[in-house]
Amino acid sequence: MTEPAILTHNLTKTFNIVQKEPGLGGAFKALFKPHYTYKTAVDGISLQIDPGEIVGYIGVNGAGKSTTIKMLTGILTPTSGSVRVLGRDPHRQRVANAREIGVVFGQRTQLWWDLALIESLNLVAGIYDIPAPRYKQLLEQFGEILELKELFKTPIRNMSLGQKMRAELAAALIHEPRVLYLDEPTIGLDLLVKEKIRTFVRQHNQTHGTTIILTTHDLGDIEELCQRVIIIDSGKLIYDGPLSTIRERFGRQRILTFEVAPQLFNRLEQITAGLRLPPSAQAAVEDDEVCCKRLVVRFDRLETSASQVAASLMEQVEVLDFSIAEPDLAGIVRQIYLGALNQPENERQP
């Protein structure tokens, strides 16, 4: 059996926060007689990630994602529970751990602000003792795929956000770590740069077998890179499993939108209230952007089919056209963040 790349058991982090009253007096009081409150940012998380997996780690702002990543990298010590990365304790064996991991925090740069990119990379290569021929080879590869060649001589401070993020990725991966943590790597980037970064991460995972944990609020990142997602809420794990299962469980709702004859507009509400529809189907009148009225029917695809809904409606109303929509991942995840996982099966919105 292969050893897991990452293994945590009841991993917990509680921050002690000093409460300070306003003003200088308050500052002194907090210094000499501190009054603490406690915040459990990560609350008993147990997970196992195997070598080569790309796992999406998601949750609302403040859910505890970055705090988890910081414990996995060894920046923070857990308050309780255990963590192993490639069999090591990341905090106690910080140096050995650092050789095997790469980290990108999208919100802040880890490169030397005033140095040209190539100087930064040379320093990283020196720190990690990368053999010169291998370093040359990787510079060539990363320069090509991340389109960094023209930027090697540019100082980080003169780079655009997208250029900086590509540079960060190169610096995080130049020592070929076995585990990569990406904390919001596409934040603030345009669609084209996001796409480049996703392609690079996917390719790197495939060619190197790197284990990757990705935290992001951009569900496009998750859709394109992760088969497995872990969702946390207030520090607790609320879902760990395939992305496809979430879609199946929460993506049952379908929406049929009907365009009706304009002469029906003034009595459409009345018509809608009197409709007889198949099980689970619910009709409503909605205004579209060009102030036309539309008849919108939502239904559970496991209870009835789109063709049944359409046939039933067309028997009762004069319809000019119709279209069908599936909920997107963003809609599904919004439902989960709002607590849909805690609802019993029959109360859940399809």
Interacting span for ligand ATP (CB under 6 A) from 54-62, 121-129, 136-144, 204-212: 54-62
Of 203, 325, 318, the C-alpha closest to 262 is 318
Residue 272 contacts ligand ATP per CB under 6 A: no
CA distance 209 to 176: 10
What DSSP designation does 194 have?
H
Interacting span for ligand ATP (CB under 6 A) from 58-66, 78-86, 304-312, 320-328: 58-66
Residue 67 contacts ligand ATP per CB under 6 A: yes
Residue 102 contacts ligand ATP per CB under 6 A: no
HEC readout, 16-44:
EEEECCCHHHHHHHHHHCCEEEEEEEEEE
Residue 66 contacts ligand ATP per CB under 6 A: yes
Q: Which residue has the tokens 């019993």?
A: 344
Residue 66 or 211: the one with the smaller Cβ distance to Mg ion is 66
Residue 13 or 293: the one with the smaller Cβ distance to ligand ATP is 13
HEC readout, 48-113:
EECCCCEEEEECCCCCCHHHHHHHHHCCCCCCEEEEEECCECCCCCHHHHHHHEEEEECCCCCCCC
Residue 15 touches which of Mg ion, ligand ATP, none (Cβ within 5-8 Å per kind): ligand ATP
CA distances in angstroms from 135 to 55, 128, 340, listed in the order given: 28, 11, 49
Interacting span for Mg ion (CB under 5 A) from 63-71, 165-173, 260-268, 280-288: 63-71
Of 251, 252, 271, 253, the C-alpha closest to 261 is 271
Residue 106 or 143: the one with the smaller Cβ distance to ligand ATP is 106
Residue 69 or 151: the one with the smaller Cβ distance to Mg ion is 69
Q: How far is the CB of 297 from ligand ATP (least distance, A)?
A: 36
Interacting span for ligand ATP (CB under 6 A) from 62-70, 90-98, 153-161, 188-196: 62-70
Residue 62 contacts ligand ATP per CB under 6 A: yes
Q: How far is the CB of 65 from Mg ion (least distance, A)?
A: 5
In this structure, the chain runs to a length of 350
Q: How far is the CB of 27 from ligand ATP (least distance, A)?
A: 18
What is the signed CA dihedral for 186, 190, 196, 199, rounded to 10 degrees?
A: 60
Residue 64 or 185: the one with the smaller Cβ distance to ligand ATP is 64
Residue 66 contacts Mg ion per CB under 5 A: yes
Edge to edge, the sheet with strand 80-85 lists: 35-49, 6-19, 80-85
Q: How far is the CB of 81 from ligand ATP (least distance, A)?
A: 15
Residue 64 contacts ligand ATP per CB under 6 A: yes
- Strand-pairing partners, residue 83, are 8
Residue 43 or 100: the one with the smaller Cβ distance to ligand ATP is 43
Phi then psi for 58, rounded to 5 degrees?
A: -125, 165
**Number of chain positions touching Mg ion (CB under 5 A):** 2
Residue 66 or 186: the one with the smaller Cβ distance to Mg ion is 66
Q: How far is the CB of 269 from ligand ATP (least distance, A)?
A: 41
Of 44, 72, 46, 68, the C-alpha closest to 57 is 68
Residue 69 or 171: the one with the smaller Cβ distance to Mg ion is 69
Of 277, 210, 304, 151, the C-alpha closest to 5 is 210
Question: Which positions touch Mg ion (CB under 5 A)?
Answer: 65-66
Question: Which positions touch ligand ATP (CB under 6 A)?
Answer: 15, 17, 39, 41, 59, 61-67
